[in-house]
Amino acid sequence: MDTPDALIMLNAHSHAALIAAACRRIETAQTPPGLNELAAEAGLSPHHFHRLFKAETGLTPKAYASAHQARRMRTELAGTGTITDAIFEAGYNANSRFYEKAGERLGMRPSDYRAGGANTDIRFAVGQCSLGAILVAGSARGICAISLGDDPDALVRGLQDQFPRARLIGADAGFEQWVAQVVGLVETPALGLSLPLDVRGTAFQERVWRALRDIPPGTTTTYAEVAQRIGMPGAVRAVAGACAANNLAVAIPCHRVVRSDGSLSGYRWGVARKQVLIEREAAQAAA
């Protein structure tokens, strides 16, 4: 006879499997299926399915589909076809539907995205913090890059590689206040960050990054635990890849994720910085 705990575990696995199947359905459909269609395929009422989907992924079905379409659009824009071809290949059934959301999903016009950020203004500043050099960059939507390193020039070159044709503009007094807030976050993570973030990733990456932002300062979790939290327990390597793709150091706290044995894994801004951040946060939480 199954124990109550065993039944709860069984239901959790069943729910995760249903939502994983719905995610695959959304990702493989040429036109995103509607809520009623997805719920019927899962054998649930639309209300129950909607609530379960958001609980498992952190996104509504509509938001998940929009994020996946944006990822497909970025992939298609990187190709050699026309922008119109890319729009339809990404699953938008009309140009107007895509252009209504283009700035929100890409952070810029599609032609500018394809051109490496051409005609886009990105403000940035490089300063110093206790972890070394820090670069903070922002688009019209919010902070789009926070990088740490030893060489300020290398950080600027990295930003240029990310947006090779954008107009990189030195910080004004207003943006310097943003930089000060980011530095404050690095020094005292428990304060949090109230600034808007310009987060651009695949649907899966955005699910992982949402989960990372729920990890409290002073604590760590494992890649396997993050995979469980997003309802995809078999996606441990993919979770690690999403952490490595994070462009917003500390604001999206990928440094709080460690291996299953508690040891530190790679960190794009240096394992030594990861250790300092974890130890600092633990000390501040204990104080």
Q: Which residues are catalytic?
A: 254
Which residue from 103, 94, 93, 117 is spatially nearest to 70, judged by alpha carbons?
Answer: 103
Side chain identity at 267, as an amino acid letter? Answer: Y
Burial (Cβ within 10 Å: 0-12, 13-18, ≥19) of residue 282: middle
Contact 86, 79 (CB under 8 A): yes
Give the helix/strand (H/E) hosting 122.
strand 121-129
DSSP 22-58: HHHHHHH-SSPPPHHHHHHHHTS-HHHHHHHHHHHHS
Token representation of residue 141:
């939507």
Residues in the chain: 287
In 3D, which of 169, 155, 81, 162 has the Cα closest to residue 116? 162
> How many CB atoms are located within 10 Å of the residue 96 CB?
9
Cα-flanking dihedrals φ and ψ of residue 257, to 5°?
-105, 130
In 10 A of CB 17, how many CB atoms? 12
Paired with 143 in beta bridges are 138, 197
- How many CB atoms within 10 Å of residue 174? 8
